[in-house]
């Protein structure tokens, strides 16, 4: 059911998709859907929350503590590109459908997103203290780096001119220089 | 009519908005709309095309030729942030509704977008030749910079902690370093 909703929301947009259409895609009667979710809003919220939960736990699983800030930033950069390139629909919806969340649900998703951004900001602050990074505002720098990296999703295609590993290397080179004290 | 469509598309998404709703927002009968546009697809296409035309002509009006690559990159960076921050709805739709364009209309919009990206790529190539920039792939670097700068729209608010001028300065600092040979 989640896969059907994800696919329909990303193709047509949340507001244009009905529970009836989702049921049809799953291959059940519309009424049967309500055994699994109380309404379409909950379905959207669960999709976005599980995407953010997956992101945070996959990130936590890379376990970067103990390394220096430069190594942590490289790990973050490669992780972010890799994780997001595997989930184009989730990433698209996570950005596009924020406007369709209820205020309470929006707060939850924003909180998870802030948690992820704070993880990067911590790395930047650590590198700043060590003198290896020089950014004028760690919060803005974190958002700038994340926007740059997520942008890969708008153009990258498997089998194109560059492999994902080459793309990661190019972006890592730019990210490193953008925040480094002595690039 | 365009303003009404822009506002409705950005709030609800193209697929969820009917010509009837647009007519209601404008304050005319649905039939009257067809005097101005043959259909909803044309309306979306015209919104996206005029956004790209405005972008390209505003950019051309800044006239950066004759300057060195570093000055041209700074002008591009400040222009991009400033232009896009004034048009959040257009920017949102330009990204989000690409999927809803017919293949022919998509080609036109993609062509205009490529033209804009090529403008930045030219600056990067010129700086590369002059030895002031060092990027491993000017095309990817151009898209990375644009994604980073457009990201300002996802968080910037007038009257917040930072003025737009301060934001421009922070991003210019990061963009400069990210591509510079000797940052």
**What CATH number does residue A152 fall under?**
1.10.357.10
Residue B165 and residue B101 share a domain: yes
Question: How far is the C-alpha of A123 from the C-alpha of B125, rounded, in Å?
Answer: 32
Distances (CA, A) of B116 to A64, B44, B62, B68: 38, 20, 13, 19
C-alpha distance from B183 to closest chain A C-alpha (Å): 6
Contact A116, A55 (CB under 8 A): yes
Q: Which among B137, B170, B177 has the least Cβ separation from residue A140?
A: B170
**CATH number for the domain that contains residue A21:** 1.10.10.60
Residue A47 and residue A132 share a domain: yes
Q: Taking residues B66-88, what's their average pLDDT?
A: 94
* Residue-level pLDDT at A183: 60
Question: How far is the C-alpha of A44 from the C-alpha of B57, rounded, in Å?
Answer: 39
Contact B169, B131 (CB under 8 A): no
* Residue-level pLDDT at B62: 85
Tell me: the pLDDT tens digits for B133-174? Answer: 999 999 999 999 999 999 999 999 888 999 999 999 999 999
Phi-psi region of B101 (alpha: psi -120 to 50; beta: other; left: phi over 0): beta
* Residue-level pLDDT at A127: 96
CB distance B140–A162 less than 8 Å? Answer: yes
Burial class from Cβ neighbours inside 10 Å (0-12, 13-18, 19+) for residue B175 reads buried
Burial class from Cβ neighbours inside 10 Å (0-12, 13-18, 19+) for residue A140 reads buried
* Residue-level pLDDT at A2: 87
Whole-angstrom Cα Rg for chain B: 19
Give the distance, in angstroms, between the CA of residue A34 and the centroid of all CA atoms in the same chain.
Answer: 28
With 80 as the cut, is the pLDDT of residue A173 above it? yes
Q: Name which of B43, B34, B79, B74 is nearest B58 in CA terms.
A: B79
Q: What is the span of the domain harbouring residue A17?
A: 1-37
Residue A63 and residue A120 share a domain: yes
Phi-psi region of A156 (alpha: psi -120 to 50; beta: other; left: phi over 0): beta
With 70 as the cut, is the pLDDT of residue A49 above it? yes
Residue A103 and residue A17 share a domain: no
How many domains does the structure of chain A reveal? Answer: 2
CB atoms within 10 A of CB B10: 20
Q: Taking residues A154-183, what's their average pLDDT?
A: 93
Mutation target to probe the B interface, by most B beta carbons within 10 A, among A73, A177, A182 is A177
Q: Which residues contact B16 (CB under 8 A, 6 or more apart)?
A: A13, A15, A16
With 70 as the cut, is the pLDDT of residue B183 above it? no
Residue B70 and residue B25 share a domain: no
Q: Taking residues B117-131, what's their average pLDDT?
A: 96
* Residue-level pLDDT at B2: 86
Residue B167 and residue B107 share a domain: yes
Q: Where are the alpha helices (DSSP H) in B63-130?
A: 69-85, 88-96, 103-130
CB distance A148–B150 less than 8 Å? Answer: no
Residue A164 and residue A105 share a domain: yes
* Residue-level pLDDT at A63: 72
C-alpha distance from A67 to closest chain B C-alpha (Å): 23
Q: Name which of B150, B120, B136, B123 is nearest A177 in CA terms.
A: B136
Residue A103 and residue A49 share a domain: yes
Residues of chain A found within 8 Å of residue B147, distances taken between Cβ atoms:
147-148, 150-151, 154
With 80 as the cut, is the pLDDT of residue B180 above it? yes
Q: How confident is the model at residue B31 (pLDDT cuts 50, 70, 90)?
A: confident
Q: Where are the alpha helices (DSSP H) in chain B?
A: 2-12, 19-26, 30-33, 40-62, 69-85, 88-96, 103-130, 138-150, 164-179
* Residue-level pLDDT at B33: 86
Residue A105 and residue A18 share a domain: no
CB distance B170–A143 less than 8 Å? Answer: no
C-alpha distance from B136 to closest chain A C-alpha (Å): 7
With 90 as the cut, is the pLDDT of residue A95 above it? no
Choice among A71-75, A92-96, A163-167, B166-170 with the minimum mean pLDDT:
A92-96
Torsion of CA B97, B101, B103, B106, to 10 degrees: -60
Choice among A62-71, B65-74, B92-101, B118-127 with the minimum mean pLDDT:
A62-71
Give the distance, in angstroms, between the CA of residue B60 and the centroid of all CA atoms in the same chain.
Answer: 14
Helical (H) or strand (E) element with A105: helix A103-130
Question: How far is the C-alpha of A32 from the C-alpha of A28, rounded, in Å?
Answer: 6
User: Which positions 92-151 of A are in contact with B (Cβ < 8 Å)?
Assistant: 95-96, 99, 135-137, 140-141, 143-148, 150-151
Q: Name which of B112, B113, B171 is nearest B143 in CA terms.
A: B113
Residue A115 and residue A126 share a domain: yes
Tell me: the pLDDT tens digits for A128-165? Answer: 999 999 999 999 999 999 999 999 999 998 889 999 99
* Residue-level pLDDT at B70: 95
Residue B67 and residue B5 share a domain: no
Q: Per-residue DSSP letters for A111-149?
A: HHHHHHHHHHHHHHHHHHHHTSB--S-HHHHHHHHHHHH
Residue A45 and residue A19 share a domain: no
Q: pLDDT averaged over chain B?
A: 93
CB distance B162–A137 less than 8 Å? Answer: yes
Q: Name which of A83, A93, A88 is nearest A116 in CA terms.
A: A83
Query: Which of the two residues, A62 and A119, has the higher pLDDT score?
Result: A119
Q: Per-residue DSSP letters for A21-85?
A: HHHHHHTS-HHHHTTT-S-HHHHHHHHHHHHHHHHHHHHHHT--TTS-HHHHHHHHHHHHHHHHH
Give the CB-side neighbour count of residue A130, counting CA atoms within 13 A.
16
């Amino acid at each position: 059911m989640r896969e059907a909703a994800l696919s329909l929301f990303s193709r047509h947009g949340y507001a244009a998709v009905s529970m009836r259409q989702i049921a049809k895609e799953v291959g059940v009667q519309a009424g049967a859907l309500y055994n699994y979710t109380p309404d379409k809003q909950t379905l959207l919220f669960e999709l976005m929350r599980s995407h953010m939960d997956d992101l945070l736990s996959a990130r936590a699983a890379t376990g970067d503590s103990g390394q220096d800030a430069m190594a942590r930033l490289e790990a973050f950069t490669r992780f972010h590109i890799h994780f997001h390139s595997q989930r184009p629909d989730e990433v698209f919806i996570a950005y596009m459908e924020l406007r369709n969340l209820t205020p309470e649900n929006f707060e939850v998703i924003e909180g998870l997103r802030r948690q992820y951004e704070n993880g990067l900001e911590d790395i930047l602050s650590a590198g700043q203290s060590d003198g290896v990074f020089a950014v004028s505002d760690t919060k803005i720098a974190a958002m700038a780096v994340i926007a740059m990296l997520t942008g890969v999703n708008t153009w990258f295609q498997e089998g194109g001119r560059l492999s994902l590993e080459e793309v990661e290397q190019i972006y890592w080179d730019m990210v490193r220089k953008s925040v480094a004290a002595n690039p």
